Structure 1
Amino acid sequence: MISFSLVIVCGAVATLLGSRLLSLFRTSPEGEGRLFYAYALGWGVFAYLVLVLGLFGGLYPVSVILILTLCFLLAIGKLKTLGKDLRAFVISLREGAREVLPVPLLLVTKILVALILLVSFVGAFAPPTNMDALNYHLAVPKLYLQTHTIVFLPTMLYSATPFASELINSLFMLIKGEVSAQLAQHLFGWALLFALFSLAKSRYGSKGGLLAVAGFLCLSSFIFVFSEPKNDMLITLFSLLAVWSLLSWNDSEKRSDLALVGVFAGLASGTKLFGLGVAFSLFAVLVVLMLLKRYRLSKISISLSVGLAFFSLFAFPWYLKSYLWSGNPVYPFFYGFFGGAHWNGILDYRVFQLGREAYLPVNFINLVISPWLVVNSGEIFLARTGVVFLAILPGLFLPRKLPQEIKILGWFSLIYYLLWFLFLRDARYLLPIIPPIAIICAFIILRLEGRSKLLKWLLMLTIMLGLGANLLTDLKVQVPKFPGVFGTVSEQEFYRDFRETERRDHTSGKLVEAFPEYEFSRKANELLFPDSKLAVFSLDQAFYYYFFDYPYVLALPMRQNLIDFASLRNEEEMSKRLRELGITHIATDVDLGGGIPDSSLLVTDSHFAPLLPGVNAFLSML
């Protein structure tokens, strides 16, 4: 519970800081809405503070604690406002519960939502198990913390990309550990759901709020990231608040609301690269709205400048950092246009161009059928969205005249979806438009009351079936983690016995240790020297290198060019290059058989072998 308490305290400080900053804009949603704006903005600023600390070599626990203390003292005057907003939020939840309890289907929906949230909450206390989390979202911050500095890691494919979420992970890993970082990301998911409820409730009442949350939780891919220390929850929260600000501007036409559109679009773009698609979609809809409002060109220019200025303020530093490190502001993407350090055209083709060939080809027919495919054919898009993505189809039976906010949500979702289909085509990256689609879904269900009870009931049953299926999925994902949550097994036993990854031997097909790297890394950490540096070699397979406590580079032939394997002609050149990089040992997950003399083994293990600088065995695998 110490980790959870730490996350709550830091969240309160972030909310106070965000509330202080929001007062400068002189506009924000009242009550509960302001609470989520302040919470998200405060965390976005914290990410920047950690970035500044890291760039100047200040990633120490005392530095982070000092920053948190100063932020609290600066914003302590907002304690009363925070308490008022919290009370408003609790009252809103109570009123919503009373309103929906008498309705049987809504009551069942509410129970299913509560069970999914409870199971996911418990699972968030377990040691991290997700491959992306252990190899990226936690692994890169851990390397930063080893040197107390944020530097370019050229063998970590995405280490130069926007990193707000991962720097928040760094903050918690400095103070407490990776579980606290995981809980922080999990609570961003709760904030996202509560913000979605509040936005839908402000437009369509408590029923609309519950239906929007239920529709969102039908999203299959969300279940797999909700309890992991990944950046999906944070970017979706920022995106939703940017959309909320756009709706507020449509009502008020205040430039301060435009500024908030830019702020949260910038924060989304500072969390993940596809946040740029969120920003483009928002500003495209903004231009359409200003044209519909018959703005003059001069007024359009001024209004856009306000939004873009705040967007640049919050997004530009991440892309400037990437450019200064690699020569490419969106490294490692668009190599053919920007270039990039320690990268080349062959790697670009292997990693991105060749990978895209496995996706659905881009053409008009596939675009038309893609909403159906993204629900039913997860292997094409690497994940499924769930039934909510098709839940707007009954809207075809409604009159053409729709509220302006529904049109805005639809336009934003459509523009982003087109960008997604052209450039991404990974179902996880649809997350930013699922909250708007869920609100549209809730609106349709409510509008069907008194018009088509059959369609309404069918849609409600579809959502409940989606929730039920995701509850079963959630139980399958989270229950195996419970021994690690409740301490009935040691961490070593947890990683040894955890089977969610279902790793199998390539030859026999039998299940192997879920995380053999854990025990292997423990042995290596005990036997390596303080000045050791590893090169981790894998034939582009899953390798959980998070557990190493020493600096390392990833010697992956298919994903980096710091070690240019194609140019190395013999063992001497290989040895020279490794020594130039300060490499003292090599670790590989490939069975090298009898090719390694026993005298060169640092550790003998059934799965892995870190080697001394004799690189002959390493070369023999290329």
Structure 2
Amino acid sequence: MGLAMAFVMVVLCGAAGSLLLGRLRENLNSLELMATGGAIGLGAFAMSIFVVGMLGVYNVGLPIATALFGILGLIGLRYWRFKPSFDPLCVAVVFFLCMALCYVSLPPDGNDWDGLAYHLAVPKLYLLEGRIHNIAFTHHSNFPFLWEMLYTWGLWANGATAAKLFHWAALSYLCIGVAGFAQRLGANRPWLGSLILASSPIVFWESTVAYADLATALYVFLAVLAIHRGIVETERKLILLAGVLMGFALGTKYLALVSVAILGLTALGTLLVRRQVQMIPTLLLSGLLAVLIGCPWYIKTYLYTSNPVYPFAYSLFGGRNWSEENAAAYRGDQLKFGMGRSVDRLIMAPNNMVSFPEKFMDPVGLIVGERAYTVASSGPAMAAAPFVSSTAGLPLGFVIASFLAWFGLMQQTRYLIPIFPILSATAAVAQGRLRKRALWLVVALQSIAALWIFGGALLPWTSAIWNREKREEYLTRRFQPYEAYRFINEQTAPSAKIGLYDEPRGFYLERQYLWANAGHHMLIPYSNFSTSSDLVEGLKSKGITHILINRRFWPQESIESWRIQLEQAIAVQEIRLLFDARGVEVYEL
């Protein structure tokens, strides 16, 4: 029921977006209209939830926003001009989306690390408070949260599975948009690009969890498409549409700032090369639109922290509840990804990502999830992109510049996802220029690999999709701290407050909690503690009644004083062990 409600809302928002596009509908083919309408409608709906949350009127505002976009969607459905025709490639795309939907219908587990830590956890805290507010123990709550507003609606409407559907929706609209772009570029099998995208393991996995990368990719891809067409066709409306889309992209994550800058410079260079200087004012106006639409998130963050891009750029802006040491450690965590930043490493980066995938991802060691990046066939079909016509020069220039920026900033594989749709679409165009068997072979290998990874992992848990008891068993097996969380929820007082050590995934806790590790914030003054007793009393002074330690991520040896003091408190029984299972311990202070 929850998935059905969310699915209906996804469709209605897409139709509402098509209505809001107005006369721009005339410039889009049927597939482009559905994809762009979906992006605009979901973005506008998310912004309405943001306004409601900032006003602190969730109880009244969420039903009103739902009704409003439902009505707009019903009116806008008449503009969807999709004419169904049998295409085996389209059927294959739908199959992958349906398989992903099965994963979406399962409760978020240990694979959904960031979702359980903040993409879902922070909206849950917003709903409990009845408003958007500053959550000081996690700096992630100050990130741009456009898609998390949709997760807020999903949690309010019918729980976590309904929330997760919105990230799946981003891939669905992306697949439609890729086919539309490939069709416009002259591909005779446009759905091939969508199949390449949907079957890429990293993209498929992302569609099953509550992250934000596919949302960013949706807006960036459609913006690149719009500005490319606007320049080639000298159509100012499309350039302005790109500004709106990039404004929504700015609301999905900070990295979109880089994409906006790259797209703006690429577009400016293209205009100068083509001697279309008369279009530069329109490009500048498009940039202004992007800033106006995206700025509310950065203003909110500035008001909460005095830094519009908190916790980044600390040396420039500073920021409350942060320090130079925290900033240095945070940057160090980012630089650990990849294999260096020299020229030879740049040349070898595509090979290294396949040969040494663990260097480009979080080493959590998940069976299914980020380990899917290790599959050597995850995306080789995209290598066909260089053979595409030069008419796609701006999009491919954007891809190259984005790759260079990724290489210099943070070499984490999933941060490359925004360029995948462009490569997938251009690969579909290139299919007619290559030996067909070669391209079909790599697409088949990629699809088989994705089916092997995700289909095999899903089969043992298909009954958990509709069986509540099986869902509990699923979470117990698939989320290491779940038993400890259930113990806390059932055996501690409602007023309890839990300090989480080396375990930020607090979504399933029904008690107050905070991330307790040093480095997350400055709420706990660890530098003031000299003994284990000081530490315990310091935690109590912050209202903490219990602590949870996940030994899986607790270092065997550490020189950090607070860890040593905590181990001493355990050794001399200054804190009492209540629960110990699967490497997770719960203590009472």
TM-score bracket, normalised by the shorter chain, equals 0.7 to 0.9
Looking at structure 1, the residues matched to 31 and 383 of structure 2 have their Cα atoms a distance apart, in angstroms, of: 31
Tell me the CA shift for residue 258 of structure 1: 1.3
1:433 aligns with 2:392: no
The alpha-carbon distance between structure 1 residues 151 and 16, as it changes in their structure 2 partners (threshold 3 A), is same
Aligned partners of 1:349, 1:404: CA distance in 2, in Å?
43
| Alignment-derived partner of residue 552 in structure 1 | 513
Cα separation, 1, equivalents of 2:524 and 2:547:
13
Following superposition, the deviation at residue 272 of structure 1 comes to 1.3
How does 1:112-511 map onto structure 2 within 5 Å? 113-129=93-109, 130-207=112-189, 209-296=190-277, 299-382=278-361, 383=373, 387=377, 390-391=380-381, 403-448=389-434, 453=435, 456-487=436-467, 489-498=469-478
Indicate conservation of the 8 Å contact 1:16/1:72, yes or no. Answer: no
Q: Is the 8 A contact 1:112 1:467 kept in 2?
A: no
Identify which range, 253-262 or 565-574, moves more after superposition.
565-574
Query: CA separation of 1:23/1:113 partners in 2, compared to 1, >3 Å: closer, same or farther?
Result: closer
Aligned to 1:568: 529
Do the aligned residues in 1 keep the contact of 2:167 with 2:214 (CA within 8 Å)? yes
Shift of 1:593: 10
Change (3 A) 1:560 1:205: same
Deviation at 1:377, TM superposition (A): 2.3
CA distance in 2, matches of 1:553, 1:269: 28
How many residues of Structure 1 are paired with residues of Structure 2 in the alignment? Answer: 561
What SS does the aligned partner of 1:547 have?
Answer: coil
Q: Quick one: structure 1 residues 26 and 425, their matched pair in 2 at CA, closer, same or farther if it must change by over 3 Å?
A: same
Residue-by-residue CA offset, 1:308-363 (whole Å, 9 max, x unaligned): 11101221111111122112221112223322221112222223225514522111
Q: Percent identity?
A: 23
Given that residues 123 and 478 in structure 1 are in contact (C-alpha distance below 8 angstroms), is that contact kept between their aligned partners in structure 2?
Answer: yes
Aligned to 1:510: none
Which residue number in structure 2 is paired with residue 527 of structure 1?
Answer: 491
- C-alpha separation between the residues in 2 aligned to 1:336 and 1:155? 21
Q: Which amino acid aligns with 1:370?
A: A
Q: Distance in 1 between matches of 2:11 and 2:97?
A: 21
In 2, Cα distance between the equivalents of 1:523 and 1:394? Answer: 53
Question: Could you report, residue by residue, the CA deviation over 1:256-288 in whole angstroms, capped at 9, with x for unpaired residues?
Answer: 211111111111121111112221222122102
Distance in 2 between the 1:310 and 1:594 partners?
A: 55
Provide the rounded CA distance (Å) in 2 between the counterparts of 1:243 and 1:220: 24
- Partner of residue 102, structure 1: none
Residue 511 (structure 1) aligns with: none
Tell me how far apart the structure 1 counterparts of residues 19 and 38 of structure 2 sit (CA, whole Å).
11
Residue 8 in 1 paired to residue 7 in 2? yes
Distance 1:475 1:569, change over 3 A: same
1:523 Cα deviation from its structure 2 partner: 2.4
Query: Which amino acid counterpart does residue 403 of structure 2 have in structure 1?
Result: Y
Structure 2 partner of 1:70: 68
Match of residue 587, structure 1, among 528, 548, 554: 548
Q: Deviations over 1:101-121 (max 9, x none)?
A: xxxxxx5x6675454333222
Gaps of 5+ in 1: 98-106, 499-513, 615-622
Q: Is the 8 A contact 2:271 2:280 kept in 1?
A: no
Q: Residue deviations 1:277-313, cap 9 Å, x none?
A: 22122212210221122133xx354122211111012
Equivalent residue letter for 1:279: V
Query: Residue 18 of structure 1 contacts residue 40 of structure 1 at CA under 8 Å; is this kept in 2?
Result: yes
- After superposition, give the CA deviation of every residue in 1:109-145 in whole Å (9 maximum; x if it has no partner): 6675454333222222111112222112111111111
Q: After superposition, what is the alpha-carbon deviation per residue over 1:130-163, rounded to whole angstroms, capped at 9, x for unaligned?
A: 2222112111111111211212223213110111
Pick which of 159-168 and 192-201 moved more: 192-201
Structure with larger Rg? 1
Helix, strand or coil at the partner of 1:534: strand
**Higher mean C-alpha displacement, 258-267 vs 382-391:** 382-391
CA contact (8 A) 1:255 1:306 kept: no
Normalising by structure 2, we get a TM-score of 0.87
Distance 1:181 1:149, change over 3 A: same
Stretches of structure 2 that go unaligned for 5 or more consecutive residues are: 362-372, 555-566
In structure 1, the residue matched to 2:558 is none
8 Å Cα contact 2:375-2:449 kept in structure 1: no
Partner of 2:63, secondary structure, is: helix
Bigger shift: residues 184-193 or 264-273: 184-193
Q: Offset of 1:244 from its aligned partner? A: 1.9
1:94 pairs, out of 85, 90, 99, with 85
- Displacement, 1:395? 6.5
1:181 deviates by: 0.7
Distance in 1, matches of 2:154 and 2:498, equals 25
Q: Tell me: CA distance 1:551–1:369, structure 2 relative to 1, closer, same or farther (3 Å).
A: same
Q: Is the 8 A contact 2:193 2:428 kept in 1?
A: yes
Query: Aligned partners of 2:115 and 2:91: how far apart in 1?
Result: 30
8 Å CA contact 2:45–2:69 kept in 1: the answer is: no
